[in-house]
Structure 1
Amino acid sequence: MATYDLDDLLTLMARLRDPVDGCPWDLKQDFASIVRHTLEEAYEVADTIERQDWPHLKDELGDLLFQVIFYARLGDESGHFDFAAIVDNLVRKLLRRHPHVFPAGTLASRAGDMQRSEQQVSATWELIKQEEREGKASPGVLDDIPAALPGLSRALKLQKRASGVGFDWNDPLLVLDKIEEEIGELREAIARGAQDEITDEMGDLLFAQVNLARHLGVDPETAVRSTNAKFVRRFAHIEDAVTASGRDWDSFSLDELDAFWNEAKVRGL
């Protein structure tokens, strides 16, 4: 049986947006309206990978690809760009950012025996990106880090970028000191009952914890997602125990529920 290819997908997208006989839902969409769907699809890809659900990953990657195709169609209709322009821009950017693989800046060029360490490659990557930023209207160090990123991910990127210009501690123990300082300030805000201050200090504490994770080589978003999954597994054990008891939730003390939690830990959940 013949398989569909990328051209078929582009044709399908054009048909969905056909003003005469296209899909009413697709015709209603614009750049802003499909952003939330794009974010959802990206998270579904991440979730599938974390669960190692390989049979469904192909499906989720297809859904994510469709988001790019949708944006390309909208860009074509508005005269801003088309799919070919997206691909061309991407290939040119990746050629430029990988001189260790494409030394002449062409797909045909090869580095041969030239070997570079991961640290050297990362340093070159950041230098090239900095040059690209300086070529734009707003060359600020932090200007191109998207505000719409999840909070922990954006905090990490902000800190990495600031570290690249020397604004950073050189010892994770100093970051631990900062966390303890932020905890003290949060305690004071709680004692005063000042909600605005509590929110502000809580943000500072989370930001400092992201900084510590970075210094320890831990991705904070990955770490908290792993902890979320662990919490779900252990809470499911508590739920099963409560259901098996035949009692209502409110008849259990926190100590009893905590005992179920500890059982889950012992079982390696």
Structure 2
Amino acid sequence: MLYEVKPDGVAWVTLNRPDALNSFTGDLLAELAAAFHQARQNEEVRVVVITGAGRAFCAGQDLRANPDAINDLKTWLKTTYRPMLMALQDLAKPTVAMVNGVAAGAGFSLALACDFRVASAKARFVPAFGKIALVPDSGMSINLPRLIGYGRALELLGLSRDLTGEEAFAWGLVNRVCPPDELVDKTTELAGQLAQVAPLAFSHTKDLLQRAPLLTLNEALALEEAAQGRVGSSADFREGLAAFEEKRPPRFSGK
């Protein structure tokens, strides 16, 4: 795995097993979790972009590298995938999946776990699980219907249907789709825009939206009020007001 923080505050996390289509191993999952923890603790990191080296985003679990995983899938998921996915969830910073090729199985799940997805027109989203008589895992069962609704999610998973990048965009699964030679530029553009947003406001907005489907209106209002109270006392809010009055772009610090 490669990890690089650019001067613009964007951390690029690259799955770097191109010969194996960047499929997951126990070691790679641990490296990803560590990278997400590192990005969370680094105040200079404003956005995290995740992609794959070569022609694939991630082909899911590498069963050849970890054959014992098949013998106890429950324990394997709990001890390897869950820590990585929770570290990604706990980032509280914008995350972008740059899907450059196939995203299959748990690799598809990783893309879904990000806040935004930018896909190449040649990308392919492959549920994979049903084809080998498994259920979706790595958060796919919650993140997929959140994005495209129950009916389409069940169609995709129940029929093990693949989606192209263009179809994924039409279904609302990805935020941007573009020709392969424009993918890096389009992703960099989005990441750059996200790096300029107010960090505290974004993290609270993200938290509110993730909780919303399980809340009553009264509960949602209470959470909004609490979050607004916190960000309303921040330096970023004062900067936002000053920038508005002075008719200039704001310079948010995350404080």
TM more than 0.5:
no
More strand by share: 2
Q: Larger Cα Rg: Structure 1 or Structure 2?
A: 1
- So what's the TM-score if we normalise by structure 2? 0.24
Work out which structure has the larger RCO, using CA pairs closer than 8 Å and 6 or more positions apart in sequence: 2
Normalised by the length of structure 1, the TM-score is: 0.24
Bigger helix fraction: 1
